[in-house]
Amino acid sequence: MQDDDKRLAAEAAVAEVRDGMLVGLGTGSTVRFAIEALGRRAAAGLGIMAVATSIDSAAKAAAVGIAVRNFADVARVDLTIDGADEIDHRLAAIKGAGGAMLREKIVAAASTRMVVIADASKRVAAIGAAKLPVEVLPFARSFVTARLTALGAAVTDRDGTTDNGNIVLDARFASLPDARALAATLDATPGVLGHGLFLTEVDAAYIADDGVVTRLERGGASG
């Protein structure tokens, strides 16, 4: 059921893709459905190329026949399709449960349009209950942990490293009254390379709830 909704949201976003586009591919189980849908459209003749926000998504895209470019050679992306862990009606999102938030934010920033795809479990009145992933230079682990703790977070170290060779600290806040201030503080903390607060990047969201897809647009329109 949840997978059906992920697939429906993904297919709705993939319908936005036009011939000749360079498409940004996010990361995660919902994006997997988008990659599969895009692969079907590419096999049917749609001429697109993609950049990926993770090694995993690049491999999945290549496996379905999508030509994947190295993002290091790319400055602009037409449309990026990505998942989220939480998204609210203002299109503020928390991302990064899959650990790809640094590359995801870079690709989102390079994109003319960035759309989130999600099942209804991700839709919240206001972001903040999900743990906030923070990508950290390993050298700065203890320093950043102390800074996050001082900001009121309960911090856990995630096992393993990101595609960039860094670590992830998951910061859980009892509440998130001022996400913009927190994002600014994190952006200004040496050793923090990225975090999962996406407050301005998302242009639209396709959210599927029990088979019905709703599109939310930044600025208010929906359909």
Stretch that binds ligand 5RP, among 34-42, 67-75, 92-100, 106-114 (CB under 6 A): 92-100
SS3 for 17-54 is CCCCCEEEECCCHHHHHHHHHHHHHHHCCCCCEEEECC
The number of residues that bind ligand 5RP (CB under 6 A) is 17
Alpha-carbon separation of residue 15 from 165, 178, 222 (angstroms): 34, 35, 16
Q: Which is nearer to ligand 5RP, 100 or 205 (CB)?
A: 100
Q: Is 30 in the site for ligand 5RP (CB under 6 A)?
A: yes
Q: Which is nearer to ligand 5RP, 46 or 111 (CB)?
A: 111
Q: Is 27 in the site for ligand 5RP (CB under 6 A)?
A: yes
Nearest Cα to Cα of residue 72 among 106, 40, 27: 106
Q: How many CB atoms lie within 10 A of CB 46?
A: 18
Q: Residue 116: beta bridge partners?
A: 82, 205
**Which tokens in the block code for residue 96?**
């990064």
Stretch that binds ligand 5RP, among 23-31, 40-48, 168-176, 181-189 (CB under 6 A): 23-31
Q: Is 83 in the site for ligand 5RP (CB under 6 A)?
A: yes
Known catalytic residues? 104
Q: Which is nearer to ligand 5RP, 29 or 214 (CB)?
A: 29
Stretch that binds ligand 5RP, among 37-45, 70-78, 100-108, 136-144 (CB under 6 A): 100-108
With residue 186 as reference, give the H or E element that holds it: helix 179-187
CB of 199 to ligand 5RP, least distance (A): 14
Angle in degrees, 0-180, between the axes of helices 55-63 and 29-43, rounded to the nearest 10: 30
Binding site for ligand 5RP (CB under 6 A): 26-30, 82-85, 95-101, 104
